[in-house]
Amino acid sequence: MKRTIEPNIIKDLSKKMVFIGGPRQVGKTTLAQSILKHFPYKKSKKGLYLNWDFDEDRNKIIKKKWDEDHQLIVFDELHKYPRWKNWIKGIYDKTHPLHKMLVTGSARLDVYRRGGDSLLGRYHYWRLHPLSLDELPPKMSFKEGFKRLMTVGGFPEPFLDGNEQSARRWRRERFDRVLKEDIRDLESIKRIQDLSLFVDVLRRSGGQLIVLSNIAQKIQISPKTAKLWLEALNRMYICFSIWPYTKRLPRAIQKPPKVYFFDNADLISENAEGPRFENLIATHLLKKIHYLEDSKGFQFELRYIRDKEFREVDFVILKDNKIFALIEVKLSDDKISKSLQYYSEKLKPLHSIQIVANLKQEYKKNNCRVLTPQTAFNILFGN
């Protein structure tokens, strides 16, 4: 199964190095191996895959054991090499006309990449997300794909397996690795057990406003610690926060974020179908705008709107600091939200859309459209 960003990465490799980042177990190694297979090699040229976690490959990396025939070299988990940035910079500057280089890694790669600009201008960065409704296996129906995204999430292993029991085990093991390894290695967090409680509170609060002071009081930590922990979880690709849009809205709320999870099945709230559908839309929107940022260079932001009269719209997409779309999410309610109508008239975005999971008939009224997810994404992003 080919990932959507693969052709873009192959094209970018003709010009610069390419870095691929994203959550643990999202399929970066599989994507890299597919690129090795489909790369347009010159006659007699070939590719080479090296993983820092394997002793033999690590020795080849340190001693630079490859030859001129290796047109494309993949360095997997290279960021675990303490001097990796200066090392890859030197290799690239000396050999880039001869070798194309692809570097993959999890949250650590992104954190270390932001730590300095020694590689500035030498690479393109791509973010790989979990599977989505436009990235289903060729023989899988939209209905089955939607069901799996809602029950086992979009990470490739549980999604392709489709078994809820196996997915729960996989998810627990993934949380353990991220919280006990990545967090420990990259963040100055010592109270891992309390951090797990913090994550559980967030998992039960999908789509709600997150008042960190309330959560801090509940698990007996300081509000400052809660803020730092949320930022760390965002960096580790466990979840992502979206903040309120306040410009041109004098009575808009100013502070609380909403938190969504990269793994849609992470939500464990009662009656989880509604929150999971909203989370699914959030992950799809984030994936789409990251793709457009990485491929086209646009600047996007994902926000929400809520004012002091409690008028709320779930998502606001800003494109180059202008409102591109207002999006309300409903599981079954096909009546246009009064808040969506209000903000549509006030802010006049290009698109005002209510996405409904169980929708019998699409329609448009007063510049607001009520659409299925499939149609909504086609209109918003041209798929």
Which CATH number goes with the domain that contains 108? 3.40.50.300
In this structure, the answer to whether residues 123 and 193 fall within a common structural domain is no
Look at residue 357 and tell me whether its pLDDT is greater than 80.
yes
Segment 208-217 shows an average pLDDT of 91
In this structure, the answer to whether residues 272 and 164 fall within a common structural domain is yes
Q: How many domains does the chain have?
A: 2
Range of the domain at 29: 6-127
Q: What is the pTM of this model?
A: 0.93
In this structure, the answer to whether residues 17 and 73 fall within a common structural domain is yes
In this structure, the answer to whether residues 210 and 101 fall within a common structural domain is no
315: in domain? yes
Q: Are 324 and 347 in contact (CB under 8 A)?
A: no
239: in domain? yes
In this structure, the answer to whether residues 187 and 320 fall within a common structural domain is yes
Give the separation between CA 321 and CA 185, rounded to whole angstroms.
Answer: 35
pLDDT at 236: 87
Highest mean pLDDT: which range of 178-187, 195-204, 243-252: 195-204
CA distances from 99 to 48, 69, 94, 114 (A): 10, 9, 10, 24
pLDDT at 186: 61
Look at residue 96 and tell me whether its pLDDT is greater than 80.
yes
Segment 99-126 shows an average pLDDT of 79
Domain boundary among the residues 78, 93, 127 is at 127
252: in domain? yes
User: Picking from 248-252, 258-262, 356-360, which range would have the lowest pLDDT averaged per residue?
Assistant: 248-252
Segment 65-94 shows an average pLDDT of 91
pLDDT at 85: 87
Q: What would the pLDDT profile of 310-355 be if each residue is shown by its tens digit? A: 899 999 999 999 999 999 999 999 999 999 999 999 999 999 999 9
- Higher-pLDDT residue of 195, 363: 363
With tokens 């080479």, the residue in question is 48
Q: What would the pLDDT profile of 25-63 be if each residue is shown by its tens digit? A: 999 999 999 999 999 999 889 999 999 999 999 999 999
Q: What would the pLDDT profile of 276-301 be if each residue is shown by its tens digit? A: 999 999 999 999 999 999 999 999 99
Q: Are 269 and 275 in contact (CB under 8 A)?
A: yes
In this structure, the answer to whether residues 115 and 153 fall within a common structural domain is no
Segment 225-250 shows an average pLDDT of 88
- Say how many C-beta atoms besides its own lie within 10 A of residue 161's C-beta: 14
Q: Are 275 and 284 in contact (CB under 8 A)?
A: no
Confidence band of 21 (pLDDT split at 50, 70, 90): very high
In this structure, the answer to whether residues 91 and 151 fall within a common structural domain is no
pLDDT at 252: 62
36: in domain? yes
Look at residue 207 and tell me whether its pLDDT is greater than 90.
no
In this structure, the answer to whether residues 181 and 64 fall within a common structural domain is no
- Dmax of the chain from CA atoms? 68
Give the separation between CA 303 and CA 249, rounded to whole angstroms.
Answer: 14
In this structure, the answer to whether residues 149 and 268 fall within a common structural domain is yes
Domain boundary among the residues 64, 95, 127 is at 127
Look at residue 189 and tell me whether its pLDDT is greater than 90.
no
In this structure, the answer to whether residues 358 and 258 fall within a common structural domain is yes
Q: Which parts of 32-156 are beta strand (E)?
A: 46-51, 70-76, 100-104, 123-127
In this structure, the answer to whether residues 13 and 160 fall within a common structural domain is no
pLDDT at 116: 61
135: in domain? no
- Single-letter residue type at 247: K
Going 138 to 360 to 353 to 150, the CA torsion angle's sign is: negative
The two three-digit tokens of residue 29, written as one number: 């190694």
With tokens 């001869």, the residue in question is 98
27: in domain? yes
In this structure, the answer to whether residues 113 and 211 fall within a common structural domain is no
Domain boundary among the residues 59, 93, 127 is at 127
